[in-house]
Amino acid sequence: MYTQSTKVHQKLISLPDPLYFRLVKRAKKVGVSLTEYFRLMTYLHLNSPEPFEFIEELDEETSKNVLKAEEEIKAGKGILLKTNKDIDMFMKNLK
């Protein structure tokens, strides 16, 4: 039986190298684990009005949400994004 975390790691491993390394760089910049950053990107992807390929093609509103989420995390207002419920609570607090 796979846990959610295992599924996230499997998705991360299957990403193309340039995208993987870009995610690593941004996660370090923000100060969260790669898994947490990837979960946030996945959450924003699934709740975006238009689909996008993670960081490659963000629509304007989602870009703003990503930047705002990154700033909140950097400011220490972020929480550990372990579950989808955590991400939901975090995103509600951004609005």
Q: What is the mean pLDDT of each run of 10 residues along the chain (95 residues)?
A: 59 75 80 77 62 53 74 67 69 64
d(CA 7, CA 41): 15
Pairwise CA distance, residues 20 & 14, whole Å: 9
For the chain, state the CA radius of gyration: 13
- Tokens found for residue 72: 């909140």
pLDDT at residue 93, as a whole number: 67
* Domain-wise residue ranges, the chain: 4-94
Residue with tokens 């790691």: 9
Tokens 């969260």 map to which residue? Answer: 32
Cα–Cα distance measured from residue 58 to residue 41, given in angstroms and rounded to the nearest whole number = 10
